[in-house]
A and B are shown apart, each in its own frame.
Chain A
Amino acid sequence: MRDRRWVWVALVAAPLVVSAQTAPKDITGLSITPPEVTLRSADQGTHVLVTGTTGDGERIDLTAAAHFAPAEAPAGQIVKLGSDGLLYPVRQGDTKVTVTAGGKQAQLVVHVGDLSKPPRITFIRDVEPVLNKAGCTSGTCHGSAKGKNGFKLSLRGYDPEFDYEALLYDLSGRRFNRADPARSLMLAKPTEQVAHGGGLRIEPGSRYYNMILRWISDGVPFGNAAADRVEKLEVLPGEVFMHGPDKSQPIVALAHYPDGTVRDVTGEANISSNTPEIADVDANARVKGVRKGEAALLVRYEGKFVAVPVTVLNPNPGFAWQPLPQNNYIDELIDAKLKRLKMQPSPVVDDAEFLRRVSLDLTGLPPTPEEIRAFVADQTDSRAKRSRMIDQLLARREYVDHWTLKWGDLLQVSRRYQGDKGMWEFREWIRDSIAQNKPYDKFVYELLTARGSSYENPPANFFRVTRSAKVSMEKTTQLFMGVRLVCTQCHDHPFEKWTQNQYYQMAAFFSSVGLKPGFQSGDEIVYDKREDNEVKHPKTGRVVAPQYLVASLGAPPIPGNAERREALVEWLTSKENPFFARAIANRMWSYFLGRGIIEPVDDIRASNPPVNEPLLEALTKDLTDHDFDLKYLMRTIVNSRVYQASIQTNVWNGDDHVNFSHAMPRRLSAEELMDGLALAAGSRINFPEVPPDTKAEEFPDPHVGRDGFLDVFGRPARESGCECERRSDVSLPQALNLVNGRTVADAIADPKGRVAKLILAGSTDRAIVEDLYLAALNRFPTAKEYDAAVSFLKAGESRAAWAQDLLWSLTNSKAFLYNR
């Protein structure tokens, strides 16, 4: 809970600062952030932000336009404004600075300590941040896996102890000249006084140069590992809201230390935007709006991270919110966001289009012509009949097949890993779980605690894919928490708080999982190893005790080796776990709306915030309140107006791709395409590895029909559990396959197929056209389409051949290829 609270706070509770280049005239109030600062060292300046409040309550950044007037003191000024815009101390004392902007004034309280006794410079508090800022610890420089030119530092300085020792002891300590600190190699290299492959990193005589010089002169103290580490990073403002592109807003990063001191580290912090094409940030920590939309800034300093949401509003005038039906809380929360962003959502689709969309999304199959006719003809209130149809689809066998396929992808059901029988058994277990609507937490519990024969207890097949503690952990965290820890195997996470220690602590939960051959050919037994059953840290070689990734309620005490998995899964599947329900709620959402509220769905991290935190929070809560009933969650999502929105856009939401203001067309998956094609053509495409009439979405693994149509259209090989493995791109081979491929051609010309049946039944041209449109595009043709298609049929010598051509054309259209 704690880890995502900041986002909620940022969105709901934090003051909004609206940036403006120049001060508007109707400023009614002025505030300074922070309102009080303490300075302790002559070379340590600090930023302050000046914010004006307009008559209608908007808050506007006025820092650039503000005038700072330090109060006069008998002994002279206590602070001064530097050319870089920072306030610097001049001498010890307390004072006030009068800030004037937009015709208003406010006062900043400043305390200056004894400048003759500046805080001691230490490696951990002062030098490492400079090495990081100068790029010495970057992955392209000395922070790379093998270091650079014989000098290795930890990536982005995640391991100060290691870096300190590397500086001190590598090259037999020749990096420091204690007798003449200015001639130290540590200064000579980055200032290019001697040749340096990395070029000039620190200007001689600069603040950083002087600081390192002082540090060497003081005897290169490491510092106090506890007291000198940053306790908290604070970024001001907490959220940036800009009334259009071309506006900007300065950012201030404040490091809080355990002793209560606060230091402005804006200059040393690493600040980046996740969407620079919407909001970019310059070297002076000023974020600039580029175009309408939303972005997030990631501010990193010494292992601490803060994400700052940035919104650039539509600058066009005339927006007036048009309320649309509110089917459930999803609509309310989406609309709240859209209204704030000045985006008008699109209305819902018609019944035929809804039926196609929801059938494909819930069952992987388009509706049949008969189903469409019946649904459209039904005069019941549209919302009620849609809801009823949703329930019917959720009860179908095809629903089970469709979601078995999805989980088969994620859990890598494949004879390559599990052998033929293991693969079929694993798939059957998944299928049975979905058919039972097994609560998701129970499903995961059974999977991750599975032991025994992979034939007798099929979820044990999970471990036939992972095969090691590390991979089991990586897959568990990515799949069920949406957290990627792979990079922390070698170093602390560069964009998150996860450490290398945590990687091994989490892996230790799987340390006892062993595999041995079973009593039947091809089987393997998952068991708890009694020896060699601990994970060791690669640096220390010591056994790492298991520890939960984050502390949360519902975390049981960690028991002995063989029961660790149970403890882990209890923690993982607890309703209080901050990741578990959230990750699956987000993933489920993405299946119906085309993208996650956090995207990618399996990369949840501070620097990748949700586009609508209240919505994700609400979906998560709804899921846990309903005991992880995924079918319930699906039903809720597809009943929403948001899900049923049209792909047609309006002037206010045309360029929105992330806020769900309209539906996004999605290319059908490989299996949906093949099954849709079979249904449209009234044909059945058979494969020797599976029983006749097996639909593509029933295929147990990617071996069936390998190297054919399905693979061209992006069926995943199930080499990983990443959603990204299923490709939804569009390619030339796909186009050629549709135009000239045998799959389409054979299906259309099937002697028992739809066209053959229509012709043999003596159907009229109009009936043929209508049936083909309904079968392929799942809608009635328009009057224009009727006319054009009927004349097309009449023009040919062979009505059958031309009907085949018509069906070919329809199945090659975007309307067929996309879920829209």
Chain B
Amino acid sequence: MWRVTGLVFAISLAASAAAPELTELDPRGAQRGKSFTLTIGGKNLPEGAKVLSNLPATFTPLTPPEEKMTAGRKLPFLVELKADAAVGTYPIRVETPDGISNILLFAVGAFPEVVEEESKPESREHSNDTIETAQRIAAPVIVNGTLNGSDRDYYGIHARQGERLVFEVEARRLGSAIDPVLSIVDASGRQIARNDDAPALGMDSRLAVTFPREGEYYAIVHDARFSRQTQNFYRLKVGSYPYADGIFPLGWKRGEKIDVEFFGGSFPAPVKTSADLSAIDPKLDFTRLNVPGEAGSLPFLFVVGDLPEKIEPAHSAGEAVALDPATVMNARISKPGEVHRYKLAVSPGDHWEIELGARSLGTSRLDGVLSIYDAKGAKLASAGDKPPKEDVFSLLSAGRTSSDPWLDFTAPKDAREVVLTVEDLLQRGGAGFAYRLVARKQPPDFMLTVLEPYVNIPAQGSSSVNVSVNRHSFPWPIQLSIAGLGDDYIVEGGHLPGEWKDDAYSISRRGMLTITAKPGAHAMKLTEVAIWGEGKTGDGAIVRRKAQCLGMITEVAGGTGISDAEDRENQSPFIAPWLGLDLPVVVGKEESGKIEPDAPRVLRLVQGTGYSMKWNFKGRNPDAHPPENVAVDVASPAAAEIAVRRAKTEKKEEKYAEKGEFSVLTTTHSSPEKYDMVLYGESKDGESEALVTPAITIEIVQGYTVAAPQEPVALPAGGKAELVGVFHREPEFAQPVSITAEYLPAHVICQPAELHAAEKEYRLSCEAEASAKPGEYEFQLTPASVVVGLDKREVPYKIAPVTARLIVLETKQAAR
């Protein structure tokens, strides 16, 4: 089941200096069957750039205006859109010799299109912000407009008495950062209707208005936060067209056909239509379903899965329905207060992953609560009925949003059957409260999300790829890898260290790997690669998962920047995983130079020690300028584990960072795991160029280990014996180690041992008084040492004591 919950965004180091970047499409959409001029705006857009899109159209380059060409920021195309182009959204990106760009979405509509006058370059700000200055429109129409901060756009329309018109704003669904609010007022300014978030439209708005009398009316569009956004466009659609408030079911199995019900909106009664999923691309987790009837609405997203699917069977109220393992149950809470119950056959000790898909799938209104009860009705676990723990919650997403509930559940002893319940947190219900429930018997699981929507690898250089892991109850280390790259490329890093701090909830962390093009590597055409993660559970089971790719990302700025102490105003970005893309990778232009650190690719550090890492910039040619700043990015940044401090930077021409030094520091309590780090350079002559080093893996190790003797030491009462065990020391650890025996039985003493550089075993002389009581005892070997940090100071360093065994023998036994 698809979802994205764990997005911790990282510094994006995937774009090389000259790679194209799209910021604007003008227009943002077009009426199907019409030809038009599309101007693509952004950076590094040279003439000859190729448009990559599945838009059913031809793109014929036009000569750009000379001044625009100089800046390389505007590329015009003559676009002939096919008459049968389906209403919907289509990704557009460009490819140049220097790489590929990000995606922007283009919309195809069914109505004539106009442009908001105010958004034209020569217009004044706030020129249609009042009834008096409203722009006139006539239905049916789609207006392409923009909003800037406190902008409020007014559109005047004449309506007849009793006329019914649908007003809809398409914004967030098209990748705009605007969260539109739509209202309709009469000529006196009296509000007739208002909508912020409409059913099934996410943050977008829709109103259907039947006008009480003939006259002038005004549609007003503004951003819910009056925020300033880079992607600040919207499309106001006005017309009379069919639309629905929801669909059921929310998804079905790939390769099958299913009847889908559209309900609400302009449909007085639910309407069914058949969805054919027989030819869906295996890579796609979603398809789009059109609203029945005349074209006008954007299609609904519909989940496509690979598991068997069922519709909740008819049953009496309160009856528990059997839930088949690894089968998606499609159902809806149709009445307020309704609780759905499912029987699930289990065996003691089985681990189950139970997931509910609802609101995050796009059109359901269900705030799901998922609970498990034993046969006696005792609650075993629940999710969705409380906020996540605060420390975990803050890691889950930049926007600190909820997700649909899931449960990791191990069947208790004697359990043969459990009951799952599904209900709405607020006890609501209705046609729009649909869900998909699946229970799978499997080891603890994790989910991965690639945080870069695409990667341009500089020729002979490196790019980093960040991956977010959303651990359910999978605390073990995960190794990331990339499938689909040839031998000309080196993949490094990808270590996600174990997380042992909380096993009750998902912990979201970031992993990082780098792709480096070998010298002489063949140029790679646009390739989609898959990123995988693999981990081994405590039981030795291997869990391997493919990372979800986001397709595109639109960053959304907060409102006016005022947020409370919990940073709730941070906004989640817009993402489009439903585009069904793996990670697009190309090799682009060579960078101006390289940052070369003096550290080995795998840097082993004993807990509590550090490394002074020097770096210098090596230009491809003598004129190459170094970057203005060089910094370090450590993935899975755990302040308690590794700290990197800038020691010094030497500048060239007072501006360019030519060489420098970083201190990589660990503590005596840093977890002995592997962490990945890159150095990167930023910003040169006003243009960003991300110079990235291949990943350096920092392997934190324990300074030494002490193994207990395999056999218990036999010590006669009144006698002596020597305790001998294996001692292993890391080559980097030279300090003496003392080993002390503690918690010995009464009347037994062992002399501490002190171990120096070359010793590989420890020996403790032990002696039992005659009064020592015979028997077998456990005691502890407690090692202690010091560690010398980068600052040359000695810090006490202890590792966990080791348990050893001792047998005190009777004297007679000893004599024998």
Interface string of B353-374 (1 = CB under 8 A from A): 0000001100000010000000
Residues of B with C-beta under 8 A to A691? 126, 129, 150-152, 222, 226
Among candidates A420, A435, A455, A516, residue contacting B402 with C-beta atoms closer than 8 Å: A516
CA distance A532 to B564 in the complex (A): 25
Question: What's the nearest-Cβ distance from chain B to residue A395, in Å?
Answer: 10
Interchain CB contact under 8 A, B225 and A421: yes
Residues of B with C-beta under 8 A to A689? 149-150, 226, 560
CA distance A530 to B384 in the complex (A): 11
CA distance A420 to B559 in the complex (A): 6
Asked whether B98 is an interface residue with its Cβ less than 8 Å from the other chain, the reply is no
Asked whether A703 is an interface residue with its Cβ less than 8 Å from the other chain, the reply is yes
Chain A residue with the shortest CB-CB distance to B396: A517
Asked whether A529 is an interface residue with its Cβ less than 8 Å from the other chain, the reply is yes
Residues of A with C-beta under 8 A to B53? none
Asked whether A252 is an interface residue with its Cβ less than 8 Å from the other chain, the reply is no
CA distance A456 to B224 in the complex (A): 13
Asked whether A157 is an interface residue with its Cβ less than 8 Å from the other chain, the reply is no
Given A420-B559, A522-B571, A527-B426, A690 and B196 touching (CB < 8 A)? no
Given A517-B402, A522-B399, A690-B226, A456 and B197 touching (CB < 8 A)? yes
CA distance A606 to B618 in the complex (A): 83
CA distance A703 to B561 in the complex (A): 10
Interchain CB contact under 8 A, A420 and B222: no
Question: What's the nearest-Cβ distance from chain A to residue B49, in Å?
Answer: 34
Q: Which of B385-393, B436-444, B486-494, B774-782 contacts A (4 or more CB under 8 A)?
A: B385-393
Number of B residues whose C-beta is below 8 Å from A? 51
Residues of A with C-beta under 8 A to B367? 519, 525, 527
Interchain CB contact under 8 A, A420 and B560: yes
Asked whether B751 is an interface residue with its Cβ less than 8 Å from the other chain, the reply is no
Interchain CB contact under 8 A, B569 and A690: no
Interchain CB contact under 8 A, A520 and B203: yes
**For chain A, which range describes its interface: under 10, 10 to 19, 20 to 34, or 35 or more residues?**
35 or more
Given A397-B189, A425-B196, A690-B150, A523 and B179 touching (CB < 8 A)? no
Residues of B with C-beta under 8 A to A237? none
Asked whether A392 is an interface residue with its Cβ less than 8 Å from the other chain, the reply is no
Asked whether B119 is an interface residue with its Cβ less than 8 Å from the other chain, the reply is no
> By CB atoms of chain A within 10 A, which of B360, B426, B563 has the most?
B426
Asked whether B425 is an interface residue with its Cβ less than 8 Å from the other chain, the reply is yes
Asked whether A378 is an interface residue with its Cβ less than 8 Å from the other chain, the reply is no
Interface string of B374-389 (1 = CB under 8 A from A): 0000000010011100
> By CB atoms of chain A within 10 A, which of B150, B190, B191 has the most?
B150
Interchain CB contact under 8 A, A521 and B568: yes
Given A420-B559, A452-B426, A521 and B572 touching (CB < 8 A)? yes
CA distance A530 to B426 in the complex (A): 11
Asked whether A355 is an interface residue with its Cβ less than 8 Å from the other chain, the reply is no
Interface string of A493-534 (1 = CB under 8 A from B): 000000000000000000000111111111111011111000
Chain B residue with the shortest CB-CB distance to A703: B562
Chain A, range 254-300, C-beta contacts under 8 Å to B: none
CA distance A518 to B558 in the complex (A): 16
Residues of A with C-beta under 8 A to B562? 415-416, 420, 703
Among candidates A420, A456, A514, A518, residue contacting B225 with C-beta atoms closer than 8 Å: A420
CA distance A692 to B127 in the complex (A): 11
Chain B, range 116-137, C-beta contacts under 8 Å to A: 126, 129-130
Given A419-B569, A689-B226, A517 and B393 touching (CB < 8 A)? yes
Question: What's the nearest-Cβ distance from chain A to residue B111, in Å?
Answer: 28
CA distance A523 to B560 in the complex (A): 16
Question: What's the nearest-Cβ distance from chain A to residue B426, in Å?
Answer: 5
CA distance A582 to B282 in the complex (A): 68
Chain B residue with the shortest CB-CB distance to A704: B560
Interchain CB contact under 8 A, B196 and A455: yes
Interchain CB contact under 8 A, A524 and B226: no
CA distance A516 to B367 in the complex (A): 11
Chain B residue with the shortest CB-CB distance to A417: B564
Asked whether A428 is an interface residue with its Cβ less than 8 Å from the other chain, the reply is yes
Interchain CB contact under 8 A, A420 and B569: yes
Residues of A with C-beta under 8 A to B568? 419, 517, 521-522, 524
Interface string of B210-249 (1 = CB under 8 A from A): 0000000000001011110000000000000000000000
Interface string of B178-191 (1 = CB under 8 A from A): 01010000000111
Among candidates B126, B194, B359, residue contacting A519 with C-beta atoms closer than 8 Å: B359
Question: What's the nearest-Cβ distance from chain B to residue A629, in Å?
Answer: 20
Asked whether B570 is an interface residue with its Cβ less than 8 Å from the other chain, the reply is yes
Asked whether A40 is an interface residue with its Cβ less than 8 Å from the other chain, the reply is no
Asked whether A451 is an interface residue with its Cβ less than 8 Å from the other chain, the reply is yes
CA distance A693 to B150 in the complex (A): 11
Chain A residue with the shortest CB-CB distance to B126: A692
Residues of A with C-beta under 8 A to B426? 451-452, 525, 527-528
CA distance A258 to B225 in the complex (A): 63
Interchain CB contact under 8 A, A522 and B569: yes
Asked whether B545 is an interface residue with its Cβ less than 8 Å from the other chain, the reply is no
Asked whether A424 is an interface residue with its Cβ less than 8 Å from the other chain, the reply is yes
Interface string of A407-438 (1 = CB under 8 A from B): 00000000111011100110010001001000
Interchain CB contact under 8 A, A521 and B152: no
Question: What's the nearest-Cβ distance from chain A to residue B464, in Å?
Answer: 26
Interchain CB contact under 8 A, B129 and A421: no
CA distance A662 to B129 in the complex (A): 45
Given A419-B569, A529-B386, A519 and B402 touching (CB < 8 A)? yes
Interchain CB contact under 8 A, A517 and B194: no
Given A397-B189, A416-B562, A525-B425, A520 and B401 touching (CB < 8 A)? yes
Interchain CB contact under 8 A, B401 and A420: no
Interchain CB contact under 8 A, A693 and B402: no
Chain A, range 446-470, C-beta contacts under 8 Å to B: 451-452, 455-456
CA distance A692 to B154 in the complex (A): 13
Chain A residue with the shortest CB-CB distance to B563: A419
Asked whether B546 is an interface residue with its Cβ less than 8 Å from the other chain, the reply is no
Interchain CB contact under 8 A, B150 and A688: yes
Asked whether B82 is an interface residue with its Cβ less than 8 Å from the other chain, the reply is no
Asked whether B720 is an interface residue with its Cβ less than 8 Å from the other chain, the reply is no
CA distance A530 to B130 in the complex (A): 48
Interchain CB contact under 8 A, B401 and A523: yes
Among candidates B150, B564, B569, residue contacting A692 with C-beta atoms closer than 8 Å: B150
CA distance A124 to B425 in the complex (A): 50
Question: What's the nearest-Cβ distance from chain B to residue A300, in Å?
Answer: 42
CA distance A528 to B386 in the complex (A): 10
Interchain CB contact under 8 A, B387 and A421: no
Asked whether B651 is an interface residue with its Cβ less than 8 Å from the other chain, the reply is no
Residues of A with C-beta under 8 A to B560? 415, 420, 689, 703
CA distance A479 to B129 in the complex (A): 37
Given A455-B196, A456-B197, A527-B425, A419 and B386 touching (CB < 8 A)? no
Interchain CB contact under 8 A, A525 and B402: yes
Interchain CB contact under 8 A, A517 and B563: no
Residues of B with C-beta under 8 A to A520? 197, 203, 399, 401, 572
CA distance A428 to B278 in the complex (A): 47
Question: What's the nearest-Cβ distance from chain A to residue B470, in Å?
Answer: 16
CA distance A719 to B571 in the complex (A): 25
CA distance A452 to B403 in the complex (A): 15
Supplied contacts A521-B399, A521-B401, A524-B568, 11 more A-B pairs, CB within 8 Å: A419-B563, A420-B224, A425-B196, A516-B386, A517-B568, A520-B399, A522-B400, A522-B559, A530-B385, A531-B386, A694-B150
Can you list the 9 inter-chain pairs with the closest CB atoms, starting with the nearest?
A: A420-B559, A521-B399, A516-B387, A420-B225, A521-B571, A691-B152, A691-B150, A421-B224, A521-B572
Q: List 23 A–B pairs whose Cβ atoms lie within 8 Å, in order of A's numbering.
A: A397-B189, A415-B560, A415-B562, A416-B564, A417-B564, A419-B559, A420-B558, A420-B559, A424-B224, A425-B196, A432-B191, A455-B196, A517-B568, A519-B360, A520-B401, A521-B400, A521-B568, A522-B399, A527-B385, A527-B426, A530-B385, A531-B386, A690-B150
Which B positions have Cβ atoms within 8 angstroms of A?
Answer: 126, 129-130, 149-152, 179, 181, 189-191, 194, 196-197, 203, 222, 224-227, 359-360, 367, 382, 385-387, 393, 398-403, 425-428, 556, 558-560, 562-564, 568-572
